[in-house]
Amino acid sequence: MRFAGRRVYLALVLMLRSPPGSASGQELRDEFRIPARTLKRWRTWWGEDFLATPFWRSVRARFMPPVAIEGLPASLLERFTAGELPERLTQALRFMAPLSTRSMIK
């Protein structure tokens, strides 16, 4: 897979270990040594910026029932069901590959 940019690689980390029920994300911060400020920025990206991208606006209707916005990114990963976790992650990252282009994030 071509270089997909920092946002997509961060998406991978959050898809692997997203704590949707955790207000602080302390477990994620401790495990990956992520500063609270960075985790907050990632959550803002998933909860606001990602939802406003032309990419998401163009593909969200493909999911029925709709993806649970409050559970992103884990709720998106759950929609990729073929194979084990590595195959599902690959599918999800391929799906999100358009986010590596400027036209899909502005």
Ranges 8-12, 77-81, 94-98: which has the least confidence: 8-12
Q: Does residue 60 carry a pLDDT above 90?
A: yes
Q: Does residue 96 carry a pLDDT above 50?
A: yes
User: Tell me, what's the pLDDT at 11?
Assistant: 54
When pLDDT is averaged across residues 48-59 and rounded to a whole number, the result is 92
All residues at 6 or more sequence positions from 91 whose CB lies less than 8 Å from its CB, including other chains: 80, 82
Q: Does residue 34 carry a pLDDT above 70?
A: yes
Q: Does residue 58 carry a pLDDT above 90?
A: yes
Specify the higher pLDDT residue, 48 or 8: 48
Cα–Cα distances (Å) from 100 to 29, 65, 72, 77, 104, in that order, read 25, 26, 18, 18, 8
Q: Are 88 and 81 in contact (CB under 8 A)?
A: yes
